[in-house]
Amino acid sequence: MTGTMRAAVLHAAGPPEAFSLEDIAIPEVKPGEVRVRVKACGVSFRDVVERNGTYRRDVTFPLVIGLEIAGVVEETGQGVSLVKEGDHVCTKAFSSCGMCRYCRSGRETTCLNRQPVRGGYAEYVVLPQDAFVRIPLSLAFEKACMLGAGAGVALNAVRDTARTKIGDRVLVTGATGGVGLPAVQIAHHAGAEVIAVTRSESKRAMLEQAGAHHVIVADGDFSTAVRDVTGGEGADVIIDTVGSHVFDAAYNSLALHGRYAFVGQLNSDKISINPARIFFKRAQLLGVGSVSRAQLADVIELAEQDIVRPQIAEVMPLEDIVKAHHLVEASASVGRIVVTP
Ligand SMILES: [Zn+2]
């Protein structure tokens, strides 16, 4: 297909005003690649740091960003077998090669040849087939676009990395966030007793609705409150989407033999811990990163069953991308801002 498409292009890193709406050539489809008509694209924090110059890995200008994409497959290149024309799809955050030793051992999120997914701020996007996973026709694009980076990572954390079991007590920090809220929903579904930590009383009802058994509203040390609701034992699993700002309180909330899963880090502050506190607790510190095809396919099913319920803050036309980035950078909304080209 030849012709042009509308896109929000970055010619250099900068403030939200750096976006320029232009008509650019539709990229051609090479072997192994797929062209998708973009129906919705979530505005993620990675978009913000790629735009403002904080995240520089594989970034060259001019550039069209946007990784939380959902749309319809319109053309498939030679050798594509994972999706077909007409399929509705959404994206992972990276595409993997499927061939390296990490891909061959179920660890595709650390693929040696992984490529970042980008290009959703446009009418069309062309990416390797591995970037796309099929969604049911009944699932709205505006919800599906954010599943990979949100609920997919939450499933990775709760089920596959922290190995949550029935009856486990699971503490989620940053519980109303893009990974936090689906972590609450998934942990509840897994049969855990869920403790959600948030800084805002106004979000209590939302967290209870998501399946939290206990909501702790706190801006400082919440470990005493966690001990109170767990009979003094603490939480078996911590899903920490905030990072160093809450680490001391969260680690103090961890039960003996607990698993502490690091999922997010919202600033550049370091943490400090006496190693004895790790072995006295027999604690496991775990790193969680990104989402595999299988994990994304599983959360798509959970979304279809309404167990995972992605939160949309607002749907805006692509023309409002500057406004959308201002809102996301200011953390001014609960749920995802989604743009539609
Ligand atoms: Zn690989």
Distance CA 159, CA 153 (A): 10
Give how far Cα 68 sits from Cα of 17, 58, 174, 197, 311, Å. 21, 17, 20, 26, 14
Give how far Cα 87 sits from Cα of 73, 203, 335, Å. 5, 36, 26
Rounded mean pLDDT, 278-296: 96
CA of residue 85 to ligand 1 center, whole Å: 25
CA of residue 309 to ligand 1 center, whole Å: 31
CA of residue 102 to ligand 1 center, whole Å: 6
CA of residue 109 to ligand 1 center, whole Å: 8
- Band (102; pLDDT cuts 50, 70, 90): very high
Tokens in use for 111?
A: 């693929």
CA of residue 110 to ligand 1 center, whole Å: 7
Structure confidence by residue, pLDDT tens digits, 233-250: 999 999 999 999 999 999
Q: Which CATH code of 3.90.180.10, 3.10.350.10, 3.40.50.620, 3.40.50.300 fits the domain covering 150-287?
A: 3.90.180.10
Structure confidence by residue, pLDDT tens digits, 256-283: 999 999 998 888 899 999 999 999 999 9
Residues spanned by CATH 3.90.180.10 within the chain? 4-146+310-340, 150-287
Rounded mean pLDDT, 98-119: 95
Q: What topology is assigned to 4-146+310-340 in CATH? A: Quinone Oxidoreductase; Chain A, domain 1 (3.90.180)
CA of residue 64 to ligand 1 center, whole Å: 24
Give how far Cα 249 sits from Cα of 98, 141, 171, 240, Å. 40, 38, 11, 11
Average pLDDT along the chain: 95
Rounded mean pLDDT, 292-311: 96
* Distance of alpha carbon 301 from the chain centroid: 16
CA of residue 92 to ligand 1 center, whole Å: 14
CA of residue 115 to ligand 1 center, whole Å: 10
Structure confidence by residue, pLDDT tens digits, 154-206: 999 999 999 999 999 999 999 999 999 999 999 999 999 999 999 989 999 99
Structure confidence by residue, pLDDT tens digits, 30-79: 999 999 999 999 999 889 989 999 888 888 999 999 999 999 999 999 99
